[in-house]
Amino acid sequence: MPKGSKKKKDKAADFAKAKLKLGKGKQVASNAVDTSFKSRSITLPTQSIVLDKDVEIPTTKRKLTFDDLIAQLRHYNSGTRRDALLGLRELLETHRELLSSHLTALVNSCVRVISDEDASVRKTLLAFLGWLLRQIPPEDLIPHSPVLLLFTTSAQTHIYPEIRIDAIRFLDIFLEYIPDVVVEGWERGSGGHGRRVLEGYLGILNAGTSFGEGGDSGPVQATSTASVVLSPASKLAVLKSLSSFLTHALVSSLRVPDFASSPTSASPPTTPTWYLSSSFSSSVAFDCFESVFQPICSLSTGFSSSRRGFGPSRQWTQEIDPEVHFEHFPGDFAYAVAPIGAGWTLQDLTDVHAELQAESQHAGQPSVEGTTEFVQAAHLAHTLHPTLVSTFLDSAPAVFSPSSSPTETELQMVLVVSEICRSLYGAILRDPGTGNAHVMAVEELKIILGYFSPYFPFVVGGSGTSKREIKLDQAFQDVNLIFCELTSFLVLASPDASDAVHTSSRRPRAKRVPKHAASVSSAPLQISRVSEYVVGLLRGDVPSGTAQLPRPITPAAYMALLPTIWSLLSTVEEGASGAVLSVLVDHAIKVSSTSAVKRRTIDFLARLILLEREAEYRGAFRVGLDPETDKKLEEWIVHLPRTLWELGAGNLATTETILRFLLRLVQRKSCLLRRETASSLRSRLVPYFVITHATRGKLPGPFSKLPASSPLRRLALDAVVTLTRDGDDEGLAAVVDEAVVGAPQEVYWRARITSFCISGSKHSDTPSQG
């Protein structure tokens, strides 16, 4: 056979295709595996009709129990995990009783989804936790906070940047409901999660997670592994969360109340006065001065309010009904109920000894430089300074452009940078100091304000009629107020202020010398512009170059201005400070009695007037040095009875503030209470007790509208007794006699008016602090 034919035959044998015969079907291969099976029944355990089910177990609309949903949170499919979170909310909304019994299992399962790689799952978890934490009391949530913060801080350092940003959003939720736990231990070397949270913030911002080996002198080490550049929206989310973290962490050291009060809190925020502390010889002296204005009894319940240094109290009665007045004993005597064998350890005694030594060393020195909070705040400010400056410089040109309206992201970026600066430098510079950290903070703040100054005052163009324009105006006003407050920090913390406060004494009333001459001369233009802005804001002037409508100042804006006003009154030259005080008094007189700002104006001006008679006060501002200023203040004093009359029983807190101030004013024999002023006060107080109508005759005044058992009635009677002590009462005592006839305070009034001539007689419920 030829070779060519043989090759063709072999090829045909290898690739021969079997011909199919009609009706025979496809032949099965010789190496085929038979996978067929035969069965007479199919077993489905979960759908068996003979399965015993507990119909009392709560389920969702998809017939899923709590255990089923918890198991689905570990499912490999992201859609199943997302549906499980939605099912958990549906189940818990219908059956709230499951929260208390399954809280531990719920938290331990949810925390594992914080760093889920699917964005929709994380978004659903954010919404779920935002709803869930509102349903759980804080005392039940705090025991689970360690595991919540452990997984959240782990997500802050995740390899994926979007998971790191979402971890910040989880922290925002925790800061809303358990802020004290989140910020606990943020100082170096302290226990708690705050330190890890703070390092996570710095790592995301690429600001470095270490402050350097040598403290202030060492370099800032950028140990962050976050190499991506954040988008403006993501950077804004991080900075906002950091600002909230610092606000909660530093609020205690600032000695100011938390203005962002919880929505459930019924009491309004108190007027801040921390800026006055550096003008006293010691913090104890400042606390004593503040106690003069603290209410002794609550106006609604009769219990004492949260007075600094004192616990709750109640007026003693001979008999009490336990069913009506059920309460815990106000005394806290831990050693009376402690075990017999309990005692003080050596460490406890050592701590007490160290605290006593520290108090003796720093007696008379209100500055806290050298404390852990101060050092860490200074290090953190030094670390964040380049980030804050670069962020502001990136956003400022677009925000303050006169030709275009800023975007929401850029405007909020400038605002949050300002808030962070206020939190950090407010904690560092709230008191004068001369240390290296203090000097460095002053220089850094000067640099920041130098970048802010060219745009101040910050205004936005437009008609101001649309909703967006109103929001822009509010944001720009917030930035203006923060700039003024930062300037006041810089002025009050100057070394000249420290020397003036701690070396001055009760000098004779001679020509006033500004105590901050050096600090004022260093930035005269900046302080002058701040003074002009404050005066314009109090007057209600519209910023030049804008089409805005004049608006009255809000309570929050007024309280934010107080540190700036105090710095202007106590630092600038006499003529400039007199102009500021004149406008301040005019505003306090013109503002409506029913306005929420009215009480703030009374709180502040009352403290300014009583400072002059405070023995431990070492500041430069004093009344009685300028006749024009004194005349303005006397005009404000004599207008207070009219405010009392207009308030009636509508605002008991403001009424108490006025009555308490009038009482202290007379007790301390203020130089402003001249004979003419006292006579005018007595005559103006007459209608508060009895009104003489032209046709209807004598009618009860607003005094009768006060609650019958309220301590305000006795406080008003004390003020009257003190005012009429000189014998010339302008008929005030006679009308009070008529007003108290048949009232519970009649016996008290008779006893007080009988013994008012005894020198030093004071009401036991309102002890004199003067």
Range of the domain at 466: 278-295+396-495+523-582
Q: In this structure, are 404 and 483 located in the same domain?
A: yes
Residue 554 to residues 474, 477, 634: CA-CA distances in angstroms?
A: 11, 11, 25
* Residue 107: inside a domain: no
Q: What is the pLDDT of residues 9-26, one digit of tens each?
A: 666 666 666 677 777 777
Q: How many domains does the chain have?
A: 2
**Cβ–Cβ under 8 Å, residues 172 and 244:** yes
122: pLDDT strictly greater than 90: yes
5 compared with 205, residue with greater pLDDT: 205
Helices and strands per DSSP (H, E), number in the chain = 30, 2
* Residue 592: inside a domain: no
Predicted pLDDT at 769: 39
* Residue 450: inside a domain: yes
* Residue 338: inside a domain: no
* Residue 567: inside a domain: yes
In angstroms, the CA 642 to CA 639 distance is 6
In angstroms, the CA 647 to CA 8 distance is 118
DSSP state of 736: H
Q: In this structure, are 573 and 636 located in the same domain?
A: no
DSSP state of 612: G
Q: What is the pLDDT of residues 486-507, one digit of tens each?
A: 888 888 776 554 444 444 444 4
512 compared with 418, residue with greater pLDDT: 418
Q: In this structure, are 431 and 552 located in the same domain?
A: yes
Q: Before 457, cis peptide (omega within 30)? A: yes
Count the neighbouring beta carbons within 10 Å of the beta carbon of residue 734.
13
The amino acid present at 390, given as its one-letter code, is S
* Mean per-residue pLDDT, 51-70: 79
Expressed in percent and rounded to 5, the helix, strand and coil fractions of the chain are: 60, 0, 40
Q: In this structure, are 451 and 575 located in the same domain?
A: yes
Q: In this structure, are 289 and 432 located in the same domain?
A: yes
622 compared with 344, residue with greater pLDDT: 622
Q: What is the pLDDT of residues 221-246, one digit of tens each?
A: 444 444 567 888 999 999 999 999 99
Residues contacting residue 120 through CB under 8 Å, at least 6 positions apart? 78, 82
Least Cα distance to 414 among 443, 442, 447, 389 occurs for 389
Confidence of residue 151 (pLDDT cuts 50, 70, 90): very high
Q: In this structure, are 553 and 670 located in the same domain?
A: no
Q: Give the phi and the psi of residue 2 in degrees, each rounded to 5.
A: -65, 150
* Residue 607: inside a domain: no
Q: In this structure, are 673 and 577 located in the same domain?
A: no
The CA-to-CA distance between both ends of the chain, in Å, stands at: 136
Predicted pLDDT at 458: 82
Q: In this structure, are 575 and 628 located in the same domain?
A: no
* Mean per-residue pLDDT, 717-725: 83
Residue whose structure tokens are 């008379």: 364
Q: Give the phi and the psi of residue 4 in degrees, each rounded to 5.
A: -65, -40
Task: Name the average pLDDT for the chain.
Answer: 76
518: pLDDT strictly greater than 80: no
* Residue 414: inside a domain: yes
* Mean per-residue pLDDT, 556-570: 87
760: pLDDT strictly greater than 70: no
Which range (175-184, 224-233, 279-288, 334-343) has the least confidence? 334-343
Least Cα distance to 381 among 444, 449, 450 occurs for 444
Predicted pLDDT at 521: 41
**Cβ–Cβ under 8 Å, residues 552 and 531:** no
Residue 358 to residues 126, 352, 586: CA-CA distances in angstroms?
A: 46, 10, 45
Q: In this structure, are 577 and 648 located in the same domain?
A: no
208: pLDDT strictly greater than 60: no
Predicted pLDDT at 13: 62
In angstroms, the CA 276 to CA 431 distance is 10
Q: In this structure, are 443 and 538 located in the same domain?
A: yes
- Structure-token pair, residue 174: 């925790």
Q: In this structure, are 404 and 282 located in the same domain?
A: yes
Query: Kindly report the CA angle at 124 between 121 and 126, in degrees rounded to 5?
Result: 110
Residue 361 to residues 73, 358, 433: CA-CA distances in angstroms?
A: 58, 5, 16
Write down the pTM of the prediction. Answer: 0.75
Q: What is the pLDDT of residues 383-436, one digit of tens each?
A: 999 999 999 999 888 888 877 778 888 999 999 999 999 999 888 887 666 678
Q: In this structure, are 547 and 664 located in the same domain?
A: no
Predicted pLDDT at 206: 79
* Residue 539: inside a domain: yes
What is the Cβ-side half-sphere exposure of residue 135, based on CA atoms within 13 angstroms?
16
**Cβ–Cβ under 8 Å, residues 162 and 119:** yes
State the DSSP H helix or E strand holding residue 700, giving kind and residue range, or none if neither: strand 697-700
